[in-house]
Structure 1
Amino acid sequence: MQALPVGILRVEYFTADATAAAAGDVITLFWAVQGADVATIYRMDGEREPFERGQAWRVPRTGSLRVAVRPNPDGLARFTLVVNNGVEEIAQELQITASCTETWFFEPVPSGAGCPTSPSVLSLAVYQPFERGVMFWIAEGRTIYALFNDGRAPAWLALPDEYRDGEPESDPSLNPPEGRQQPIRGFGLVWRTRETLRQRLGWATAPESAFETQLQQGASALFLRDRDGKVIGLYGTGEQWR
């Protein structure tokens, strides 16, 4: 390959031996550039645009590289070839469509859900509605999820259930308004000991009720089925739920 004068950069090609692959599969990237002796290939990480440059490989100006497919939450694995001659820089992105090794327990799958990271599980669950949100207790992992509908951040919280049998179920000094209730046991403990959570949720509007749920963790969200059969997605680390 004949070299171009310094300062003239060009990506001749940046491709792969597959346009689609299962998450975790190994594919081969191929590239050729002009105007520089070396280049860098980045794996692009993140949940949404703009994606960030993650794992990097310093490579010669032409060659091949075997890499594992690791999709972003939108189901695409992204790689960027970057060429820099000290004066200017050019970049070219390559996208691979990733098929999931696990399947979601529900249909239709919302856009941006990406792939499940584990199989779905069945679990005992408890639900309670509040003035400005709801709480779920999931036996699998003994976790309490507080979902707020006040439009503030975070939109939801995941909290450990630290209540143990024999401890006080409620605080008799707290008197709810008419038609409202003080949550008890695990819900009550997090509600009483976290003032911001208590203020955001308000009082319980009905007793807690038990049901069986199905839940599954994904790259961008945890999905669970509520007592009415509706699937709820808890996105990010409290960013949103829907």
Structure 2
Amino acid sequence: MKRIWGFWIVILLVAVWPAQAQEEALTYATAQRYEHGLMIWRADTGEILALAGDGRVLRFPSVTYATLPDNPIFGTPPSRLRPIFGMGKVWGNFANVRRALGWPTLEELGFNMPVRTSGGITALTQLDGSVIQIAANGTWQRTLGDRPAPYVLAFTASPDPADLGGPLTLNWQVQGTDRVLIEVYPAGSSRIPVQLIQDLPLVGSTTVTIPASFSSGAHVVLWGVDRSPRPVPVTMWARRVSQSLTIGTRQPPGLFRIQAAYQPYERGFLIWRADSGDVMAFGGSSGGQMLVFDVQGYAGWPDTTEIFIPTNRVRPVNAFGKVWSGIPQVRDMLGYATGPEQGYTAAIHLSETGLDALTLPDQRIIHTAWGFWNF
């Protein structure tokens, strides 16, 4: 009789003891990459997860941060970002989160996130197809899921403009390929890259140096690539997806010597800078208005040929001729040229805001600020 009851007890336990349930859902989420980890916000629960690089999970239900002040931390380092909204509240008001994650390296991205819960593990599928598994013991790990279609999710560069000879920091996030490579060209060219950086991860950051010769800017191309299946001595890449950025460049602050051209006029003078191609018009004899014309703006203008020039005056040519004949305001401000243009070596001083001083052929120093000049 005892054995019969034991049999029925086993049957009863099997009938009423449920198998571990598996739940699947799809929720809107945002994610942001940090120097040492990741933050995720879930719209369905309002919870923010801080996933540290050492494998720890710091959880913040919405009630723990909703009434906190906005991110109070300022002084963002170069090539880093300042978190905002809920992530900013958590990051800015909890020092342990800042210590664990560091600063953000990419903008916060929104997406529809599949969520699966089974056996005490919560699996969150990310934009790049990887799956973040969060265990009940407060740890996490990332695994590879189904591979999505190749796509560049984010590609940024800073600073813009970049200093010639200075650093340019690139951040990116790509999905659906094996690796990433980056090519750097001078602006306006895409034939042979000056720099080629290969075998980069799908999510990452790197810093390149802008060559001093890139006076017209830099053109940076990011490629999502797959390794070629062919057994060759060097790694060959099959290019799947790309995105490009064009970055302005400038001379860094300091004192420089450049080649220039000067031409005197009845009520002022013109200066052409060989380093930038700019034409600068200075009205007045000892100070007055200053106008600057970018080479990309005037390069396609016609030369002066039809405007009447008095016999005792000089017809401007080259860049001066294009600007003088093409802009009535310049002609009204300067009058006619009283002598030919002459080349010389100019000393210029650049500040953080741009040109603030340069020399004339007679070595007099011009000071410039906010569209005006004086000796």
TM-score (norm 1): 0.50
Larger Rg: 1 or 2? 2
Give the structure-2-normalised TM-score. Answer: 0.33
